[in-house]
Structure 1
Amino acid sequence: MNLKAYDKEHVEFADPNFRIKIWTIDHPSQASDQFGPWHYHEEVELIAVLQGTLTMETTHLSYNLKAGNVMMLGSNELHRSHKHGHDDLLYIVCHVDMVAFMNPSLLPYLAAFTGRSANLTQLNETLRKYPASRQVIHQLIHEMLLDMTIQQRGYELSINASLKKLMYTFIQIDDTHIIKPMDPRLAEKLRPALVYIEQQLEISFQIADISNKLNYNSSYFAKLFKKGMGMTFTSYVQMRRMKRAEQLLLTEAWSVTEISGKVGFTSPAQFYQLFKRHFGCSPREFVKKRILDKL
């Protein structure tokens, strides 16, 4: 993928219902050591170096990652990388949609681990102080790669468990409290709203519909939602509608117009516009590409 400077990268998942992508990148000794383009993406990125040295640069810091080192990049963190030195470089890259892996019981950590209430990249400084934890995280990333590659029966459960343990390990070493869980009382207030949103994605609704149902003032509820989720109510609902549309496009033989109605749009044109902005292509192009990928 050729990305222009400061471009947003769209991460494509092989399975829209299992939103994690993990693979290895191999740069032989003769490969260029020039920086790649600056880019960013919604997904959290995990890196584990297996061989050689990788230089990873954010807008604030530069990291030389050697074999055994790991790094986390938060959502929408601008970054670029290059091979450091003349040795072969081999490393694992993992892109994960944290929202898809946060079940209701983990709601207090949703905003933090999606990078909306915490700068996850700052955890890399903490990692340097805890080599044992760094080794655990490196091993977990490697295990997720093996699970995704071999795909034995139940591999999804294994990857899910590894990801949860990885998050737990980061929490344990977070001595500067970068990861701040949502207040349990706030989580309980928002939980019914999130359930309602999932149940009502097929219809058009406004924030007033939910706030009235929960007996909240609309303005107060909007502030409450953004504080807890790290994004506005409208942005969250649009994100959930697009994720549902993605699933339906790949699992149902419905027309784009039918799917737009199934995810709460009264105007197919509005659905088309939002889908293209979210995925970088039209719904038909999205499906066509997935079909070609399977050939």
Structure 2
Amino acid sequence: MFIEGIHEKDIYTEAYPFRIELNTFENFDWPLHWHHAAELVYPIENGYHTTVNGQEYVMCEKDILFIAGGDTHSFNTRNNKGNRFFIQFDISTMDVFGQAHQLTPFLSITKLISAKDDPLLHTELERNIVGLIHEYQHRALGYTLFLNARIFDILVLLSRSVYSNVDFESSSCNSKKFHILEKLNLAFQYIEEQYQNDISLKDVSFAAGFSEYHFSRLFKEITGKHFLSYLNERRIKKAIQLLIAHNMSITEVALSSGFNSIATFNRTFKKLKGCTPVEYKKMQF
């Protein structure tokens, strides 16, 4: 599994398009990304915070968050001991009867389900999720058929729960979302390859095949940030790596990170980290 631009790829480690990961890290960062797979987040010990399409979801213990395929999301946890399951599955490749397209409009909506707000739906979803986890861990004869059945039970429950709130006109354009994300991914790859150079909004827009206006709007919508803010954050992350791991002067770090002046580097670093590069370096040793 790796992130190319912001597209998470190679999710599955086996032929069956299904993955369960138990995460127990107290401090866990996974950057902004998207994937074709749908995802369930299920914390079984302590709560959890997730950001999807720029909106933060505050989950209590045993809450269930369904993240629609193609929705951008990130995880950032600090000083939070707990256990949380991430469950990912590719609906299109699991659909042996070719009927999943009927549910597509309803599965384009990220939804948080809690026992407090929707006890009946939560109880049914949790029962199926617990069954998924148990079956995946033990892998008895025919376990993939069992997983398939439980996943479609979950999808039907979720679809019926949002039926009255679906805007069919807008959801019919959902297939375009992946095409736009694939194009935007070219921009993120360009930034990753060129952030050390003097690149502009015009350069990145061109790399992705958008006008500057259209790209700016989409970029802000996806990341919650303006292009220059995102670029500076990427450069500061690189600068931090160089400050910690290499015996380089502040000037060398600034230039290697894409800043063409020490003043701009110091000002940007202090704005994002709350201290100067020199102060930060001293704190690490």
TM-score of the superposition, structure 1-length normalised? 0.52
Aligned to 1:53: 47
Aligned to 2:94: 101
Instruction: Give the distance between the partners of 2:54 and 2:116, measured in 1 at CA.
Output: 17
Residue 10, structure 1, aligned to residue 9, structure 2: yes
How far residue 64 of structure 1 moved from its aligned partner, in angstroms, is 1.3
Larger Rg: 2
Q: How many residues align?
A: 177
Question: Residues 19-57 of structure 1: CA distance to partner in whole angstroms, max 9, x if unpaired?
Answer: 111121112xxx326x53111111111111100121001
Pairing 1:63-212 to 2, within 5 Å after superposition: 63-83=57-77, 86-104=79-97, 106-109=99-102, 111-112=104-105, 119-121=108-110, 123-124=111-112, 129-178=117-166
Runs of at least 5 residues in structure 2 that lack an aligned partner in the other structure: 180-285
Pairing 1:14-53 to 2, within 5 Å after superposition: 14-16=13-15, 18-27=16-25, 31-32=26-27, 35-53=29-47
Query: What is the identity, as a one-letter code, of the residue corresponding to 1:91?
Result: R
Question: Residues 238-275 of structure 1: CA distance to partner in whole angstroms, max 9, x if unpaired?
Answer: xxxxxxxxxxxxxxxxxxxxxxxxxxxxxxxxxxxxxx
How far residue 163 of structure 1 moved from its aligned partner, in angstroms, is 0.7
How far residue 126 of structure 1 moved from its aligned partner, in angstroms, is 9.0
How far residue 80 of structure 1 moved from its aligned partner, in angstroms, is 0.8
Aligned to 1:209: none
Instruction: Give the distance between the partners of 2:96 and 2:173, measured in 1 at CA.
Output: 15
Please give the secondary structure, in 1, of the residue aligned with 2:135: helix
Q: CA RMSD in A?
A: 3.3
The structure-2 alpha-carbon separation of the partners of 1:231 and 1:61, relative to structure 1 and needing over 3 Å to count, comes to: closer
Please give the secondary structure, in 2, of the residue aligned with 1:37: strand
Please give the secondary structure, in 2, of the residue aligned with 1:174: helix
Please give the secondary structure, in 2, of the residue aligned with 1:36: strand
Instruction: Decide whether the 8 Å contact of 1:40 with 1:76 is kept in 2.
Output: yes
Instruction: Give the distance between the partners of 2:12 and 2:3, measured in 1 at CA.
Output: 18
Instruction: Give the distance between the partners of 1:32 and 1:171, measured in 2 at CA.
Output: 34
Runs of at least 5 residues in structure 1 that lack an aligned partner in the other structure: 181-225, 236-295
The structure-2 alpha-carbon separation of the partners of 1:146 and 1:36, relative to structure 1 and needing over 3 Å to count, comes to: same
The structure-2 alpha-carbon separation of the partners of 1:102 and 1:127, relative to structure 1 and needing over 3 Å to count, comes to: farther
